[in-house]
Structure formats: C-alpha cells, structure tokens
Amino acid sequence: MTSHPTEDFLKKIADTLEAPGLKEMDDLTALPQWDSLAVLSLIAMFDANYGVNLPAGEIQQAGTVSGLWGLVQGRKGL
Amino acid sequence: MDHTLTIEGYGIRLRPVRMDDAAFIVWLRNLEHVKGRVGDSATDVAQQEQWLKTYFSREGDYYFLVETLGGLMVGAYGIYDKAGKTAVSGRWIIRRDVPAAIPSAILGFNLAFGALGLEELRASTVSTNLPVLSLNRKFGLEQVMIEPGASRIGGKPVDLVHFVLYPKEWAKARERILPLAKQAETQIREWERSQPGTPCVQ
C-alpha cells in the first residue's frame, strides 16, 4: 500500500467527475460539478473498480483525491 | 395545500407534510449546510406551525416530507405556485448523511410531470449554492437568467439563478440518472438499518 494515490486512481476520479487536470490535493467540494450525483458516481466507480462500497457521507467528507484514496485503501484492508 | 399525493421509490417516500412535522422542518432548514442557501425561514416550532397553517389553506402548493420507507424523516421538497400547467420546484433540503437527494428529485419531478400534469417546472437557486446549480444542469434544467439581488437571506441580498425544466428534457436526464438512484437506494436502506431502534424494512 502506498500513501499517495496511484496515477490510475487519480485518472479514474478525474474521469468520473469530468474534471481533467484534477490534482491529488485539490478541494473536491470546490469543483463546480461537485454534487450529490457526483458522489453517487464515485460510489459506483469504487464499487466497480475496487470492490468497495463507500458510504456517501464518508465520500462527502474525504475532501480530496488523497482522502478518497485513504478511504478506499482503508476499506480494502478490512 | 392539504393535499394527499404520495409517491415511493428508491428507498424513500414523498408524503404530504403534516402539522406535527413542524419541529423537523425547523431543524432541517436551520442545518449548517443549508443556511445561506435557502430563503429565511421559521426558527422555532410555533413560527413553523403558523406557516404550515397558512400553507394548508393555500391552493396550488404541494409540500412534501421526504422519509425512508420505514418512516425516518430525511428531508423536504415542494412544488408550489401551480398555475395551469406550470409550477415552481423548491424548498428542497435533504439531510447530509443520507444520499436521498437524487431519489427525492426523481420522485418529485415524476410527480410534477405525472400526477400533477405539468408541462413546465421552474426553479430558482441562490447563485452561491454550487451543488444545486450543478444538479439542476445534470437534471436537464435550462438556465434562463440570473437575477441580481432578487432575494434576501440573513438580511443580505442574494442573486438568484432561474431555471426551467420541460418533460422531454427530464425524460432524457432521468434515463442517465436512474442507475445512480438505484445505488443511492442501497445506501439509504443501509443507513436506515444503522439507525437505533429502526425496524427491519424489506
């Protein structure tokens, strides 16, 4: 397990949020396209690609790609 | 308006607001993530009850409580100012820890263009409420204008962004959104099961 998100992870988040150029520490909640639908899209993407089912509330609070990476890694390590 | 419309789906139900919902509505409309994004509203139960009393006698106003299928209240939504085939969509607030926003919007719009027979649904969103502005666009609402200082929140003027939604655009957006609503339903049911004292809901 690495402490930083992989490039593939970052790309998947950027693709899901339709936010090209997204960086690891960008504030996700400041993106103009950040909304309930974006959160649900991430839930579906994590489920399909990483086999984890993250609660919407935890995704809302993750804040950054790095935060999401931590959530996914934490869930996979359970 | 003392209406009887109810609709269920995706783990939630929209049902008519009742007088005994006043305390929940006050709590909901004064949540931290809501302040500054919706119009000023009652800050105590007595004020809210007074507002509801007037609402019950107002024609063309359909206010809904959003609850889980087991009856846990998670939000509110309204369709009001109905005049012929047009009305306003608003008063939409969902508590943050439950992903019921998308399901409630789907049910609300389905009611608007279904049971209520509307051909046009209008919405106005405070210009700083970025998540709802984003959702409006994804739901197929077309932005028609920005009205500077059109409303006051906390005593300060705020700009309103006005939108309109037509049945054809909603039908297209709905198809894209439905798979995610099913994802939300799973999480809503899990959230409901995690609440203390909640009976099992099939």
Render the burial of B24-63: b for 16+ CB within 10 Å, e for the rest: bbbebbeeeebeebbeebbeeeeebbebbeebbeeeebbb
Cβ burial, residue A4 (10 Å; 0-12/13-18/19+):
exposed
Can you count the helices (H) and strands (E) in chain B? 5, 8
Residue B199 has pLDDT above 60, yes or no: no
**What's the whole-number mean pLDDT along residues B78-83?**
97
* Residue B136 counted as domain residue: yes
CA Rg, chain A, in Å?
Answer: 11
CATH number for the domain that contains residue B184: 3.40.630.30
For a pLDDT cut of 70, what percent of chain A falls above it? 95
> Given the DSSP bridges, would you call strands B156-165 and B7-9 parallel, antiparallel or unpaired?
unpaired
* Residue B1 counted as domain residue: no
Chain A CB contacts of B102 under 8 Å are 36-37, 40
Q: Based on the structure, what is the number of domains in chain B?
A: 1
Collapsing DSSP to helix, strand or coil, B30 comes out as coil
pLDDT of residue B19: 97
Contacts of A34 by beta carbon, 8 Å cutoff, 6+ apart: A17, A28, B130, B131, B134
Query: How far apart are the C-alpha atoms of B149 and B151, rounded to whole Å?
Result: 6
Residue A77 has pLDDT above 80, yes or no: no
Contact assignment for A35 to B135 by CB distance below 8 Å: yes
Domain that holds residue B39: 7-194
Contacts of B47 by beta carbon, 8 Å cutoff, 6+ apart: B26
pLDDT of residue B202: 44
**What's the whole-number mean pLDDT along residues B9-28?**
96
Residue A3 has pLDDT above 60, yes or no: yes
Cα A29 to Cα A33, A62, A70, B160, distances in angstroms: 9, 9, 17, 21
Contact assignment for B183 to A43 by CB distance below 8 Å: yes
How high does pLDDT run on average in chain B?
Answer: 92
Say yes or no: B102 contacts chain A, CB-CB below 8 A. Answer: yes
pLDDT of residue B91: 92
Interface of A with B in 46-75 (CB under 8 A): 47, 53, 55-57, 60
Nearest to A36 among B102, B133, B179 (CB): B102
Chain B CB contacts of A36 under 8 Å are 94, 99, 101-102, 131, 135
* Residue A1 counted as domain residue: no
Render the burial of A21-53: b for 16+ CB within 10 Å, e for the rest: ebebebebeebebbbbbbbbbbbbebeeeeeee
Chain A CB contacts of B133 under 8 Å are 32
ipTM: 0.72
Over the stretch A5-26, which tens digit does the pLDDT of each residue have?
A: 999 999 999 999 999 999 999 9
Query: How far apart are the C-alpha atoms of A41 and A15, rounded to whole Å?
Result: 10
* DSSP 3-state percent helix, strand, coil across chain B (nearest 5): 35, 30, 30
Report which of residues B146 and A55 the model is more confident about.
B146
Contact assignment for A55 to B138 by CB distance below 8 Å: no
Q: Which residue of B has its CA nearest to A41?
A: B180
Nearest to A40 among B98, B130, B180 (CB): B180
Nearest to B99 among A33, A34, A39 (CB): A39
Residue A46 has pLDDT above 90, yes or no: yes
* Residue B199 counted as domain residue: no
Over the stretch B91-148, which tens digit does the pLDDT of each residue have?
A: 999 998 899 999 999 999 999 999 999 999 999 999 988 888 989 999 999 999 999 9
CATH number for the domain that contains residue A27: 1.10.1200.10
Cα B134 to Cα B18, B72, B86, B188, distances in angstroms: 31, 27, 23, 22
Q: How far apart are the first and last CA of chain A?
A: 13
Contact assignment for A40 to B190 by CB distance below 8 Å: no
* Residue B202 counted as domain residue: no
Q: Where are the alpha helices (DSSP H) in chain B?
A: 22-29, 45-56, 101-113, 130-138, 167-194
For a pLDDT cut of 70, what percent of chain B falls above it? 96
Contact indicator for A7, A23 with CB cutoff of 8 Å: no
Report which of residues B97 and B15 the model is more confident about.
B15
Chain A CB contacts of B181 under 8 Å are 40
Contact assignment for B180 to A35 by CB distance below 8 Å: no
Cα A55 to Cα A25, A43, B91, B193, distances in angstroms: 21, 8, 25, 13
Contact indicator for B146, B161 with CB cutoff of 8 Å: yes
Q: Based on the structure, what is the number of domains in chain A?
A: 1
* Residue A27 counted as domain residue: yes
Mean pLDDT lowest among B27-36, B44-53, B122-131, B169-178: B27-36
Residue B201 has pLDDT above 50, yes or no: no
Domain that holds residue A43: 7-76
Chain A CB contacts of B187 under 8 Å are 43, 55-56
For a pLDDT cut of 90, what percent of chain A falls above it? 68
Partners of B67 in the β-ladder: B13, B73
pLDDT of residue B114: 97
